Each structure stands twice: as C-alpha cells, then as structure tokens.
Structure 1
Amino acid sequence: MRFAVLGSGFWATEVHAASLAAHPDAELVGIWGRDGAKASAAGERHGVPGTTDLDALLADVDAVSISLPPSVQPDLAVRAAQAGCHLLLEKPVALSVADADRVAGAVADAGVASVVFLTYRFRDSTATWLEQAARSTLVGGHVTWLASTFAADSPFRQSVWRAEPGAPLWDLGPHALSLLEPALGPVVAAQGARAADGTVNVVLEHEGGATSTVTVSATASPLSAGEEFWVHGDAGRLVLLPPPARSAHEAHAVAVSELQAAALTGGAHPCDAAYGAAQVRVLAAAERAVEAGARQTV
C-alpha cells in the first residue's frame, strides 16, 4: 500500500514517516506540509518528495498517515477520504464533536478504512492486559499521565495547541480512554476539576456501573513526570506497565498493518474513525464537567 504522510513536524517525521519508510509491506511515497521548506526537508530525510500540493499527492497514494494538530486534521482527513484514501489518523480526531462526526461520516461515505493511532492499543503488552481484564469482574480503574510537555528537552515544547488550558485532557485523555473503555465499558458521564497548576482530574462513569479516575498534566515537573495505568476487581489490581522509550515506531508499524488488513477485508477496526468520534464526545463532556464543576452526560 502506497502511503503519504500529512505533516512535517517532529512526530510526523520521526514516527510516522520513519515507521513507513522501514515497513516491509508499505511504501512511503511522499510527505505533505503547509511549509514547503519543512516538507522538502522531511522528504529528503526519508528519500521521498516533500510537497505542498495535497491533491496531487492524494491522487498518487492509497492511504495517508496524518500527523497534524487536531484543529487541522479534520479538513484534510475529509479531503483524503473523498479522494479514496484510507486513513491513519492521529488522536484526538478533532477538537469538536461536529468535526469528529464529519471525519467519521466522510470515512463511511467513501467506504475507506480508518484507524486512529492510539499508541498503547498497538502494543502486545496492552493486548495481554486487556485479555486479563476481560477474564475479571472489574469495578474500576485509574490512569495518571503527568507530562513535562514544555520542558527544554521535550520534542513537543513548541506545540501551540498543547499550550491551551484544556489541552492535557485532549492530548492525553484519548490514551486513557483507549485503555479504560475496552476494559470497563463505554463512558456515559463525567465529573471533573482543574488544579491551580493546570492538572486535570476527571471521574468517569462507565456503562454497567464501573467508575474510573483520570489525572493528566502537561506541566508536571520532570521529577514527577510519569504514567500509571491499572484496573481492579475480583482478580486484584491489573497494572499495565509503561512501554520502553522510543517504542512508538513499533506501535505505528502495527497500526499501519492493521489499517492495511481493514482495507483488504472491508472490516471495521476497533479504533476506527467512528471510535475516534466517540472519544471526542467523551472528552467534550469531560471538558464541560471541568468548566462547570458539575456532572455531565456524554
């Protein structure tokens, strides 16, 4: 399958393009970016053309791997789907329910395959953890993700959208949902609060009665930064250990393979655009809950 990467920033170049360039069953054809110089530099690094001509690139590929801010992704995802390209999307799919539904609708209308690149969901350790969770009677779970997004050594320190007050929830929340919902069930309501330093704390109510808590921050000190994931029930506490550093390439390669399989079979992937839109509905409810200081339904 012939792929284009849409985006020329760090994540696009170092993960999406690098993964595709090394993939045994995919071909990286080109890289698109709004900045022609950056797109050319990214393409040169991986031995493919860099371009600002989106329509020409879409006409030359079977699929796109999108690595762009969530405010930019929806319009380009819709254009790619309408051009008949399968979509490997970044999380969150969008920053509004309307835009997320627009992407999911374009995918359905075009009959193309889609996968949202939620890094934890494409790791063997997560699959094993979810299998263990499925054999348990669970009552709750917890995710803590404290990031130092703007530290001097962070590759995301120049990210404009991640600097917004609600960004930790939208940036890290999709990862939390991708682990908690398959284990505990879909989220139906949320309550939340924001600490003085911007840390967001959310209580999620899941269909069936389980509850979970999510704590996320983009401004944690490097000494407190880290990730914790667990669910609990009759089998005790099931802990998912954080992955080794720089394992996103392997996860992206799995996502590429699973997108190709979905395209070949015509089947829906568990993390497709429709699921991405469902995540946005939960995130929007959680954001309303944080701002209002009151329970909000999804």
Structure 2
Amino acid sequence: MRFAVLGSGFWATEVHAASLAGHPDAELVGIWGRDAEKAAAAGARYDVRGTTDLDALLADVDAVSISLPPSVQPDLAVRAAQAGCHLLLEKPVALSVADADRVVAATTAAGVASVVFLTYRFRTSTTAWLEQAGRSHLVGGSVTWLASTFAADSPFRGSVWRAEPGAPLWDLGPHALSLLEPALGPAVSAVGARAADGTVNVVLEHEGGATSTLTLSASASTLSAGEEFWVHGDAGRLVLLPEAGATAHEAHAVAVTELQAAALTGGAHPCDAAYGARQVRVLAAAQDAVAAGARRTV
C-alpha cells in the first residue's frame, strides 16, 4: 500500500515517516507540508517527494498517515477520504464534535478504512492487559499522566495547540480513554476540576456503574513527570506496566499493518474514525464539566 505522510513536523518525520519508510508491507511515496521548505527537507531525508501540492500527492497514493494539529486534521482527512485514500489519523481526531462527525461521514461515504493512532493501543503489553481486564469484574480505574511538554528538552515545546489551556485533556485524554473504555465500558458522564497549575482532574462514570479518574498535566516538573495506568476489581489492581524498549515508531508500524488489514477486508477497526469521534464527545463533555464545575453527560 502506497502512503503519504501529511505533516512535516517532529512527530510526522520521526514517527510516521520513519515507520512507513521501514515497513515491510508499505511504501512511503511522499510527504506533504504547509511549509514548502520543511516539506522538501522531510522528503529529502527519506528520499521521497516533499511537496505542498496535496491533490497531486493524494492522486498518487492509497492511504495517508496524518500528523497535523487537531484543528487542521479534519479538513485534510475529509479531502483525503474523498480522494479514495484510507486514513491513519492522529488523536484527537478533531477539537469539536461537528468536525469529528465530518471525518466519519467522509470515510463512510468514500468506503475507506480508518484507524486512529493511539500509541498504547498498538503495543503487545496493552493487548495482554486488556485481555486480563476482560476476565475480571472491574469497578474502577485510573490514569495519571504528568508531562513536561514545554521543558527545554521536549520535542513538543514549540507546539502551539498544546499550549492552550484545555490541551492536557485533548492531548493526553485520548490515550487515557483508549485504555479505560475498553476495560470499563463507554464513559457516559464526567465531572472535573482544574488545578492552579493547569492540571486537569476528571472523574468518569462508565456504562454499568464503574468509575475512573484522569489526572492530566502538560506542565508538570521533570521530577514529577510520568505515567500510571491501572484498573481494579475482583482480581485486584491490574497495572499496565511500561513495555521495555517500546517506541512510538514500532506502535505506528502496527497501526499501519492493521489499517491495511481493515482496508483489505472491509472491516471496521476498533479504533476507527467513529471511535475517534466518540472520544471527542467524551472529551467535549469533560471539558464542559471542568469549566462549569458540574456533571455533564456524554
């Protein structure tokens, strides 16, 4: 399957393009970017076309791997789907329910496959953890993700959209939901609050009565930074431990393989655009709950 990467920033070049360039069953054909110089440099790095001509690139590929800000992604995803390209999307799919629904409608109308790249969902350790969780009667769970997004050595320190006040929820929340919802069921309501330093705390109620907590920060000190994921029930507390040596590059390669399988079989992937849109609904409810200081339904 012939792929184009849409985006020429750090994540696009270091993860999406690198993964595709080394994938045994996919071919990286080109890289599109809004900045002609950056696009050309990214293309030269992988010996493929770097261009600002989106339509010409879409006409030459079977699929796109999108690595763009969530405010930009929906329009490009719709154009790619309308051109008949399968979609490997970044999280969050969009920053509004309306935009997320546009992406879903475009994939449905075009009959193209879609997968949202949620890093932890494409790791072997997560698959085993979710299988174990599926054999347990669970009553709750927790995700704590404290990031130092704007530290001097962070590759995301120049990210404009991550500097917005609600960004921790929209940047890290999709990862949390991708682990908690398969284990505990769909989230149906949210309450929350924001700490003085911008840390977001959300309590979700899930179908069936389980609850979970999310503690998310983009501005944690480097000494506080880290991630913790667990669920609990009759089998005790099931902790998702870090997978030694796991990289985003490897997870992306798995997502590429699974997108290709969905495209070939015509089946829906568990993390397709429709699931990405559902995440947007949960995040929008949580954001409103934090702002209003009141419970919001999904």
Which position in structure 2 is the counterpart of 1:41?
A: 41
Q: Deviations over 1:128-171 (max 9, x none)?
A: 00000000000000000000000000000000000000000000
The alpha carbon displacement at 1:259 in A equals: 0.1
Spell out the pairing of 1:130-279 with structure 2 (5 A cutoff).
130-244=130-244, 247-279=247-279
Which position in structure 1 is the counterpart of 2:94?
A: 94
Q: Deviations over 1:213-261 (max 9, x none)?
A: 0000000000000000000000000000123466001000000000000
Q: Distance in 1 between matches of 2:144 and 2:231?
A: 12
What's the secondary structure of 2:221's corresponding residue?
A: coil
Aligned partner letter, 1:271: C
Percent same amino acid among aligned pairs?
Answer: 87
Aligned partner letter, 2:10: F
Which position in structure 2 is the counterpart of 1:3?
A: 3
What's the secondary structure of 1:131's corresponding residue?
A: helix
Aligned partner letter, 1:293: G
Q: Residues 159 and 244 of structure 1: is their aligned pair in 2 closer, same or farther, counting only changes over 3 Å?
A: farther
RMSD of equivalent CA atoms = 0.6
Q: TM-score normalized by structure 2?
A: 0.99
What's the secondary structure of 1:100's corresponding residue?
A: helix
Q: TM-score normalized by structure 1?
A: 0.99
Q: Deviations over 1:89-131 (max 9, x none)?
A: 0000000000000001100110000000000000000000000
What's the secondary structure of 2:258's corresponding residue?
A: helix
Q: Distance in 1 between matches of 2:181 and 2:11?
A: 26
Q: Deviations over 1:174-200 (max 9, x none)?
A: 000000000000000000000000000
Q: Deviations over 1:265-285 (max 9, x none)?
A: 000000000000000000000
Which position in structure 2 is the counterpart of 1:113?
A: 113
The alpha carbon displacement at 1:294 in A equals: 0.3
Q: Deviations over 1:49-88 (max 9, x none)?
A: 1000000000000000000000000000000000000000
Q: Distance in 2 between matches of 1:34 and 1:111?
A: 27
Aligned partner letter, 1:86: H
Which position in structure 2 is the counterpart of 1:13?
A: 13
Unaligned runs of 5+ in 2: none
Q: Distance in 1 between matches of 2:47 and 2:191?
A: 48
Structure 1 range deviating more: 239-248 or 146-155: 239-248
Which position in structure 2 is the counterpart of 1:290?
A: 290
Q: Distance in 1 between matches of 2:15 and 2:241?
A: 21
Aligned partner letter, 2:119: T
Structure 1 range deviating more: 245-254 or 87-96: 245-254
Aligned partner letter, 2:12: A
Aligned partner letter, 2:279: Q
Aligned partner letter, 2:294: A
Alignment coverage as a number of residue pairs? 298
Aligned partner letter, 2:47: G
Matched, 1:83 2:83: yes
What's the secondary structure of 1:84's corresponding residue?
A: coil
Aligned partner letter, 2:125: S
Unaligned runs of 5+ in 1: none
Q: Distance in 2 between matches of 1:62 and 1:242?
A: 34
Aligned partner letter, 1:24: P
Structure 1 range deviating more: 145-154 or 242-251: 242-251
Q: Distance in 2 between matches of 1:247 and 1:240?
A: 16
